[in-house]
Homo-oligomer: A and B are copies of this chain.
């Protein structure tokens, strides 16, 4: 197995990749920006093996991008929340996503768009609001679904929560998007 560091590469890109370059890591951070906070919700929305997911979450906590705190709804479990440092990853993560949409998506239709909550206008490919000429903080960004989910679309709680407009970092699934039969506040 290849190691995950680049010790002889004297370059900030190598340092960034040591933190977020391992398989699944940026997708875990994507879900954390969507507001996912519980291990079981990350696990249902990602297809990573649980052991890999567990290792990636632990590494992101160690790197200071996520923090664990007790889950008030589930005694003994933890929530993972994006730290202030973690929030700084939003522009590069969004830029890479925008590149994938423009140049790597093949025939895929765009599934969602991102807008500045303040003015409702879209973000450009560098995460800048096209109207306000600022790069909004992630908590000021809305993720807006486009079109109707096709047959075979994911139906996990996170995917269902993303079927309507949702502000980044607002908890997902929220009380109104929990599957029927799952208590919202207990």
Contact = CB atoms under 8 A, between A and B. Distances in A.
Residue among A2, A95, A133 with max Cβ neighbours from chain B (10 Å): A95
A111 B18 CA distance: 18
Contacts of A12: 97-98, 100-101, 104-105, 108, 110-111
18 contacts: A8-B47, A9-B27, A10-B154, A11-B111, A12-B97, A12-B100, A13-B96, A13-B97, A15-B104, A15-B105, A16-B99, A16-B100, A17-B27, A19-B100, A63-B104, A88-B99, A91-B99, A92-B96
Copies in the complex: 2
Interface of A: 1-2, 4, 6-21, 23, 26-27, 30, 46-47, 52, 63, 85, 88-89, 91-93, 95-106, 108, 110-111, 125-128, 133, 135, 153-154
